Amino acid sequence: MIFEYCQKAIEKVEYKKLDDGTWFSEIPGFKGVWANAGTVEDCRKELITVLEEWIILKFRHVETVPEVDGLSVQITRVAVARTKMPIARRELIRKFKNLGFNGPYSGGRHQFR
């Protein structure tokens, strides 16, 4: 469901070539979801990452996301993990890698891709 939602949202993307030669993209109705990169393809990839992270943050704060072509996603129930101790960064990185994430990368906005 979330994959289909992202696909529908990406179909609404508006691109602009800026004066400095880079590309800017945004999705109308998705406040704060935008990207800027040197090529259209890099801009699209960055926008997808931003959209995914934006949706996760919306879910985390139990906020609604806009409906796209009749498709909506929402949180109906919140599960709370019960942990006694915070996870160590090294253990978190290991778990991310086991899930297929690469990284962490130094610098930039996104340490994992």
Q: How confident is the model at residue 26 (pLDDT cuts 50, 70, 90)?
A: very high
d(CA 30, CA 40): 19
Q: Which domain holds residue 57?
A: 2-78
For 60-96, how does the pLDDT look when each residue is reduced to its tens digit (9 = 90+)? 888 889 999 888 887 777 667 676 677 888 888 888 8
Total domains in the chain come to 1
Q: How does the average pLDDT of the chain come out, rounded?
A: 86
Determine, yes or no, domain membership for 109: no
* 69-75: long-range contacts, CB 8 A cutoff, minimum separation 24: 69/8, 69/11, 71/4, 71/5, 71/8, 72/5, 73/1, 73/2, 73/5
Determine, yes or no, domain membership for 108: no
pTM attached to this predicted model? 0.65
Please tell me what DSSP assigns to residue 24. E
